[in-house]
Homo-oligomer: A and B are copies of this chain.
Amino acid sequence: MANLEIIKSIARPTPSKIVLLVIDGLGGLPHPKTGETELETADTPNLDRLAAQGVCGLLDPVGPGITPGSAPGHLALFGYDPVTFNVGRGVLEAVGVDFPLQLGDVAARGNFCTVDGAGLVTDRRAARISTEKNAELCQLLDGQVIDGITIFVRPVKEYRFIIVFRGDKLSPEVSDSDPQQTGVASRAHVALKPGAKATARIANKFVAQARTTLAGHAPANMILTRGFSQRPHWPTMSEIYQLKPAVIASYPMYRGLARLVGMAVLDTGTGVKDGLATLTKHYNDYDFFFLHFKGADAAGEDGDFERRVRVIEEIDNSLLALINLEPDVIVVTGDHSTPAVLKGHSWHPVPVLLYSKWCRRDQVTEFSESACLHGGLGRLPATEIMPLAMANALKLTKFGA
């Protein structure tokens, strides 16, 4: 965290504005037939113009060869070393649905699932029940007190929900019950450290009661849990950067991550145009905006090259609304790569462009993996993009005499 300490010591508030646009899973790999990646295939006149007027490069979210999850990928972009700043899945989901997590609470992610008569998991997602059905079932499980610990259960989306344990001496060092495969039974929770035995016992009792409560509710007749974790004590972006930051994201997890680093959460819709309308509406109220679009990552996970291309084109198409606001600094990048040919996150570095009046332009005239390789930012850790954005917004004073 040495670097954050330096930034903290030289950051100052100014009226200048920074927009960090994250196209989730932006980096790709070439289509076998054309030899061009999704971003290279897409027609992106606005991104290309920003690239031409700005400076480009390639970011390593965690390090060469490391495929990041969504949390490390984003934390790095916010300037938080993703190895030092670790957050569990349960906390991420809980803050993502605005659950008021208290210090000491233990949060876990839950799935409704289907089990057969022998108790073996047949569907880890309970036939993707509706969010409405999910909410009904959560009410059945919510509010129990087991061994003095209160347990909150809240729906997230479809088959996903959160469990929050509240009370004295809870520990997050508890194993998952989710076996991550079908045809086997859910696992008993095990204490991963001696101090976690009580929490594991309570979690096992909770799962046992849920099995009884849900018996008649197939396909959602059982639950699977994972990612037991506690809310971390982190410095906020306001403390580090002297910024007034806000997030515009339609997916709960990204709002939750942003909340963990102290961003205000703005209401927005699910479309790209909704995001830009929200930005425009609140543009005068904040000086840093994290604008998140999920579609390119989802298409990559589905292995859908063409849809990734279309999503990128749709974002490019809406960019004038951002450009016309004339932020002092625009950064466009991704939190990791999600090449359609790999159908999942990957380790490949992510294209980045930084546009500002004070950047030192390079020769790049196209926003693409191959062009960014020759950009003026070079290849750098994703944690460096915030210091660069801050510098280009003239929000950092000199370091040292």
Contact = CB atoms under 8 A, between A and B. Distances in A.
Integer count of this chain's copies in the complex: 2
Nearest to A82: B400
A58 to B, nearest CB: 8
Given A398-B69, A400-B69, A401-B87, A360 B387 contact: no
Q: How large is the interface on A (under 10, 10 to 19, 20 to 34, 35 or more residues)?
A: 35 or more
Contact of A388 (B65, B369, B391): B65
Given A64-B387, A358-B29, A86 B400 contact: yes
Contacts of A66: 6, 10, 387, 391, 396, 399
Given A62-B399, A88-B401, A360-B29, A391 B69 contact: no
B348 A401 contact: no
Contacts of A205: none
B401 A70 contact: yes
A71 interface: yes
A2 interface: yes
A63 interface: yes
Interface stretch (A265-273, A302-310, A372-380): A372-380
A399 B72 contact: yes
Interface in A344-401: 344-348, 358, 360-363, 369-370, 373-374, 376-380, 384, 386-392, 396-401
A275 interface: no
B362 A396 contact: no
A77 to B, nearest CB: 13
Contacts of A370: 362-363
Nearest to A81: B2
A227 interface: yes
Q: Which 5 A-B pairs have the closest CB atoms?
A: A65-B387, A72-B400, A65-B391, A69-B400, A89-B401
